[in-house]
Chain A
Amino acid sequence: MSELRLDQVSRWYGNVVAVNGISMTIGPGVTGLLGPNGAGKSTLIHLMGGFLAPSSGTVALDGVRIWANQHVYRHIGLVPERETAYEFLTGWQFVECMAKLHKLTDPAAATRRALALVEMEYAKDRQIGTYSKGMKQRVKMAAALVHDPPVLLLDEPFNGMDPRQRLQLMDLIRRMAAEGRTILFSSHILEEVERLAGHIEVVVAGRHAASGDFRAIRRLMTDRPHVFAVRSADDRRLAAAIIADGSARSVQLTEGGLRVEAVDFRRFTWLLPRVARDADVRLWEVSPADESLESVFSYLVAP
């Protein structure tokens, strides 16, 4: 059981602050590092992976400083975001090289085990350059897992994966976590994090915006008023029905249709079709007007 601890960590590049006074503790299980692009997720993962020195504060694994300490890598497996991985090597050669660099006693056995874990044995003798994105991601996983580390850091692991590969990887991460590993992965997609992580750390604009159980954060995100743009066959009648139903806080009649401020995101999306049917109004378009992740995040960081 390993624990990553960040204590008042800041990192700046010249005048630009990438990470600002973040403290968090990441323990066993899956933790999702959620934030919009450019929020500082990669900087955080680089700090935890020992690729960056904190400008101030400390980053430690089980009380041991990570920066400029190559011994921590016995306990950390890192899957970088970038796709490149010695494309001229075959999958087997790549993972075996990583095993040898870890000075494992039986590199071949470790390689076999790691490739089996990510179900990549069938392509082990092909050059990595010929792999698809999902295959590259999996072989990178195998390389990070080859020494059986208690801590696994994944930087945007689902980028560029198709849905099937995504499910496979989620399954693999869940299995790794069930074995008691400490797993942190970054993502800018709420649904990914929600499906996988029991614990969420939210970072917005370099600051720690929220931390805790995903349901609590989800509630924070869903309890806020949601604005929907609705177009229908008869906007006036629908507006009256919505108001009467009570699932909306306000309804505004505009040129382009209705602007509905819903009280509860899920209840509203479930209720609206029924209200429309009961009122005998045909719905043409329902779209969330403020569902961009940035607006969700900015709501979270707002005081």
Chain B
Amino acid sequence: MNATIAYITFRGMLGRRRALLLLALPVILLLLAITLTATGYNDLSSSTAVLQRFALGALLPLLALIAGTGVIGPEIDDGQIMYILTKPIPRPVITTTKLLVAMALIVLFAVAPTLLAGLIMSGVTAQLAFAFTVGVFVGGMAYCAVFVALAVVSRFAVTIGLLYALVWEVLIGNVAPGARKLSILQWATSVTDSLTSATAVTSEVSLGIAVTLLVIVTVGGAALAGIRLRTLSITGAE
């Protein structure tokens, strides 16, 4: 962890239009929660649906994609990463710092809004808000690690990440049940499932496997990013 790199990365992420992008989805989630509560539609099943489908299923992967690739991808693309690479700092420290910044952004823009929305809609009923907060948190960590690694490995990280989150996890996951086993979304759901008594939350992946895979993916992504940045080739304008 390097405070200066974290500072530059936060400034880069929050100073530009990207900040609005990060803010839009959580605002929609909170508005949705407030509207449902105000109109009396905040029963357990619709609260679960909002948290499951919107917070965990849409907001989290998209924000993690924006944050995870945003903390390092653009810098590699425009060559600014050179200013950080030409310093006597081990490359894994650079990627770990970037990853921690992405994770902090996820806590701020995905985890906290999920907790808030859950509390607004269902209070402490069935521990629903708490369970989804934890689910979004562990899923967010894994997503961030994957997307940061992807951004170091490929210039098409955003496209690949979108394909993964939308096509693999949602489309193929709906058609082919086997694909659901290899899905961060499902692992996070499994963790949530184990923490709430609400029956609407179910996952096909057992808790033990889900936690193991979440840890492997998070640590593996972080390690891969560090290793790949160590030998990142930057080509000139030629």
Contacts and interface: CB of A to CB of B under 8 A. Distances in A.
A53 B80 CA distance: 19
Contacts of A86: 8, 11-12, 80, 83
A294 B233 CA distance: 29
Contact of B238 (A43, A68, A80, A88): A43
Interface string A37-56: 11011110110011111000
B80 A52 contact: no
B230 interface: yes
Interface string B206-238: 000000000000000000000000111111111
B233 A52 contact: yes
A101 B84 contact: yes
Task: Report the interface size class on chain A.
Answer: 35 or more
A38 B5 contact: no
Given A42-B238, A81-B236, A84-B78, A68 B230 contact: yes
A125 to B, nearest CB: 15
A300 interface: no
Contact of B78 (A42, A49, A71, A82): A82
Interface in A231-265: none
Contacts of B83: 80, 85-86, 98, 143
Interface in B77-125: 78-80, 82-91
Given A70-B87, A97-B4, A88 B79 contact: no
Contacts of B232: 51
Given A84-B80, A86-B80, A101 B4 contact: yes
A100 B234 contact: no
Nearest to A70: B88
Nearest to A13: B235
Contact of B82 (A37, A43, A74, A78): A78
Contacts of A68: 230-231
Given A71-B88, A98-B87, A51 B238 contact: no
Contact of B89 (A53, A70, A78): A70
| Residue among A46, A51, A52, A88 having the largest count of chain B Cβ atoms under 10 Å | A51
A46 to B, nearest CB: 6
Nearest to A42: B236
Interface in A55-105: 68, 70-71, 73-74, 76-78, 80-82, 84-86, 88-89, 97-98, 100-103
A117 interface: no
A297 to B, nearest CB: 15
Contacts of B4: 97, 100-101
Given A18-B238, A84-B79, A89-B8, A73 B231 contact: no
A-B residue pairs, 8 tightest by C-beta: A42-B236, A101-B87, A51-B234, A100-B4, A88-B15, A82-B79, A42-B238, A84-B78
6 contacts: A43-B235, A43-B236, A86-B12, A86-B80, A101-B2, A102-B87
Interface of A: 13, 18, 37-38, 40-43, 45-46, 49-53, 68, 70-71, 73-74, 76-78, 80-82, 84-86, 88-89, 97-98, 100-103, 143, 155
Given A74-B88, A82-B237, 17 more contacts: A18-B238, A38-B238, A40-B238, A53-B233, A70-B91, A73-B88, A77-B86, A78-B86, A84-B79, A85-B83, A86-B80, A86-B83, A88-B12, A97-B4, A97-B7, A97-B8, A98-B87
